[in-house]
Structure 1
């Protein structure tokens, strides 16, 4: 696709970058061309862009009653980031900043501890010039200037610049693998590339697991679901062996994607559905909650490989990284855990 040719809006969802928070250089953000179909949609090359993920140094700050404007510099350019204050922050700004925490005579005081927690929270939302800020949100045009309206923003502690180096390396890789590659939409009007039987069978089993909300199953429980697909195919081979062979391949695909896993190795194979396994979710949360309190993991959180090792010891040796990634993604979407950086997780 020609970079100057704009993709019709009804097809934007076919580009996975449109649904993601794109990590672009600020210089590219400022020079992207705006869509002629929908306001506040921009195009980098042939990719439609709406949401952004930016990391940079605060170079200016303007504070108002309802919001704070930070100028963020990533060494390629500077962009304005509008960060709204929530009601709790506005109410506590005066009370917390105006009255320091009094010392305790002894014992545990819930009010004082809560005030400490709120002060720590506010310290991550109020930055000064020279501090590192991460912002995620949509790109808008205001007064003929582009700015990011923050969904999420927080201060990043990076005294050794490890986060910034890791970030810049990752962004360059994203440019190479995705952003600078043209979008190719494959149309299949001539059926030159028909959907394979394996793909059809995999989708059938996925839909069934989603609709039934099963927490576990045995292969023979879902074998009949593939029978209509087998009878409609013209593949050669004994008919009584085709469903079981196809199901074996489907289960392997689901295992590779982390959708199912086998907790125990036995002749009577039982597969557990990852998103429905409450015991697995509980084990992961307990591990992150307990280890996040340890001094070693307090600052950065627990790495995914550490969590995987602990889950295998506590829950099942058959838990794969793909399974754990799906669990962590679900927990983060439910706000049960927080990602402090790539592949690091903690719980407050």
Structure 2
């Protein structure tokens, strides 16, 4: 039986992100391990690439098990998608995204949260929050948490 982890950012290593499969029962959800369904996730790794355009910042995060592409949208002020929101909210979103984008540097360790999806057959994260980690233990603690959750919640085989 599939379990939908709603309103939860599943903590996954990149290798597990690339093993996600599209759910046949829930749109915009992906199956992980033994049937848990996720649409949002969190990962921690080193930023290994950075490509800034006027509309978005595309960057790669490598956690030692693989690399995943992350997209941080920067076009909140001009996108029709955001036009339905309150103007104050749009300004806040745009300001937050610009501040986060300015902190993203190659070599920094970052915690990334967002929606998982597939673009041209490759898994990627559409970023909602990215935080540069200051704790030198953040990455290894994330790995340990992923292993614990993988066995107890997601039923991932190591």
- Same fold by TM-score, threshold 0.5 exceeded? yes
Per-residue CA deviation, residues 270-312 of structure 1 (Å, 9 max, x unaligned), is xxxxxxxxxxxxxxxxxxxxxxxxxxxxxxxxxxxxxxxxxxx
CA distance in 2, matches of 1:123, 1:34: 29
Structure 1: segments with no counterpart, 5+ residues: 2-6, 89-117, 182-348
Contact 2:50/2:60 (8 A) holds in 1: yes
- Which consecutive aligned stretches of 4+ in structure 1 deviate over 6 angstroms post-superposition? none
User: Which residue of 136, 147, 155 maps to 1:172?
Assistant: 147
Decide whether the 8 Å contact of 1:18 with 1:47 is kept in 2.
Answer: no
Q: CA deviation at 1:49?
A: 1.1
Contact kept, 8 Å, 1:125 with 1:155, in 2: the verdict is no
The answer on 1:141 being equivalent to 2:129 is no
- Of 9, 16, 21, which residue of structure 2 is paired with 1:33? 21
Contact 1:53/1:137 (8 A) holds in 2 = yes
Mark the structure with the bigger radius of gyration. Answer: 1
Aligned pairs, number: 136
Q: Alpha carbons of 1:180 and 1:37: their partners in 2 closer, same or farther (altered >3 Å)?
A: closer
Contact 2:22–2:30 (Cα < 8 Å) also in 1: yes
In structure 1, the residue matched to 2:80 is none
TM-score with structure 1 setting the length:
0.36
1:60 alignment counterpart: 49
> Paired residue for 2:12?
24
| Alpha-carbon spacing, 1:38–1:87, altered in 2? closer, same or farther (3 Å) | closer
- Structure-2 separation of matches of 1:52 and 1:148: 8
Name the one with the larger strand percent: 2
Say if 2:57 and 2:72, in contact at 8 Å, map to a contact too. yes
Deviation of 1:123 after TM superposition, in Å, equals 6.9
Q: Does 1:127 align with 2:104?
A: yes
Q: With a CA cutoff of 8 Å and minimum separation of 6, indicate the structure with the bigger relative contact order.
A: 2
SS at match of 1:174: helix
CA RMSD of aligned residues (A): 2.4
CA distance in 2, matches of 1:171, 1:36: 25
Q: Mark the CA change 1:87 to 1:126 in structure 2 (over 3 Å): closer, same or farther.
A: farther
Q: Residues 52 and 138 of structure 1 are in contact (CA less than 8 Å); yes or no, is this contact kept in structure 2?
A: yes
**How far 1:86 sits from its partner (Å)?**
6.1
